[in-house]
Amino acid sequence: MASIGLKDMSKSRKAKLGTFIVEFATPGIGHIAHNAGCDFVLLDMEHSAFSHETVKSAIRYFEAAGVRVIVRSPSRDYTMIARACDAGAEGVMVPMVGTAEEARMMLDHMKYFPQGKRGVALSIAHDNYSNSTASVADRMQAANDRLTFFCQIETAEGAENVDAIAAVEGVDCLWVGHFDLSTSLGIPGQFEHPKYIAAMDRIIAAAKKHNKALGRLVPSTDLGIALFKDGFDFCCYSGDVWLLQQALSEGISRLKAGCV
């Protein structure tokens, strides 16, 4: 599925499998992810120290390997989102979207006229430095068609308004930020709490009603499989830091036990 664009992925309810990149934006990371079977990666700017320059380079590493990239903006600020788009992000995730009006504003930041208000820059990273002779309007529309909006629902407000958010044209995927959502609900980390379950039920129902993709970061394969059965088709399995820690910890522990 890695050869399929994110926009087409978002229209399918088949499982799309990837991982979270928060630490290692190295030249080989794209092919490592590809050879592990990833369809996509979520390249994080919210909780990492990645700059736009780092993100721009990392996108090329993943493109070379045929792995699709979602860039999570560190904020809902225009300059952060538009620059991620200019750097070549095919998918953009925006944190803590609380209302349909906010979702539309994020689309204004991402999309060119007539679907948005993003400043125009052509023949740069996002269109592979094309020297196309197509009209400016056609090139802007091609950029709009390529961009995929992952709208993060991770507040009590967002969960309350999720049906209206999901109804917004241009929202391609609802992405649950489970830790922040539980914290916003006043029950941090209590994923079996009735308030959290009720919020999740609203989100799942909204995605199904409006035929939107649904995604989440998952710490285990068992949880990922269970969530897929609930309707989550974008499964972001663990992340570079935690996968390395887990594998290294297991190996060192076995060595310690055996080297006595």
Structural element, H or E, at residue 108: helix 100-110
Q: What is the pLDDT of residues 31-72, one digit of tens each?
A: 999 999 999 999 999 999 999 999 999 999 999 999 999 999
Identify the pLDDT of residue 55: 97
What is the average pLDDT across 74-84?
A: 96
| Distance between CA atoms of residues 180 and 191, nearest Å | 11
Residue 258, pLDDT above cutoff 70: yes
Q: Which amino acid is at 10?
A: S
The set of residues, in sequence order, having a beta carbon less than 8 Å from that of 221 and lying 6+ positions away, is 237
Identify the pLDDT of residue 146: 96
Q: Parallel, antiparallel, or unpaired: how do β-strands 16-21 and 213-218 relate?
A: unpaired
Residue 1, pLDDT above cutoff 80: no
What is the average pLDDT across 147-173?
A: 98
Q: What is the pLDDT of residues 94-112, one digit of tens each?
A: 999 999 999 999 999 999 9
HEC letters along 202-256:
HHHHHHHHCCCEEEEEECCHHHHHHHHHHCCCEEEEEEHHHHHHHHHHHHHHHHH
Q: Which positions are catalytic?
A: 47
What are the phi and psi torsion angles at 188 (to 5°)? -55, 125
Q: How many CA atoms lie within 13 A of 185 on its CB side?
A: 25
Identify the pLDDT of residue 192: 97
Residue 3, pLDDT above cutoff 90: no
- The single residue listed with the structure tokens 């993943």 is 62
First-last CA distance in the chain: 47
Q: Which residues pair with 151 in a beta bridge?
A: 94, 174
| Distance between CA atoms of residues 43 and 245, nearest Å | 19
What is the average pLDDT across 225-230?
A: 97
Identify the pLDDT of residue 190: 98
Tokens of 213: 């993709």
Please give the distance of CA 104 from its chain centroid, rounded to a whole number: 17
| Distance between CA atoms of residues 177 and 155, nearest Å | 8
Confidence of residue 2 (pLDDT cuts 50, 70, 90): very low
Structural domains of the chain, ranges and CATH numbers in brackets: 6-258 (3.20.20.60)
Residue 219 near residue 212 (C-beta atoms within 8 A)? no
Residue 7, pLDDT above cutoff 60: yes
Confidence of residue 229 (pLDDT cuts 50, 70, 90): very high
Residue 58 near residue 27 (C-beta atoms within 8 A)? no
The answer to whether the predicted template modeling score (pTM) of the entire model surpasses 0.75 is yes
Mean of per-residue pLDDT scores for the chain: 96
What is the average pLDDT across 207-222?
A: 98
Q: What is the pLDDT of residues 13-34, one digit of tens each?
A: 999 999 999 999 999 999 999 9
Residue 161 near residue 155 (C-beta atoms within 8 A)? no
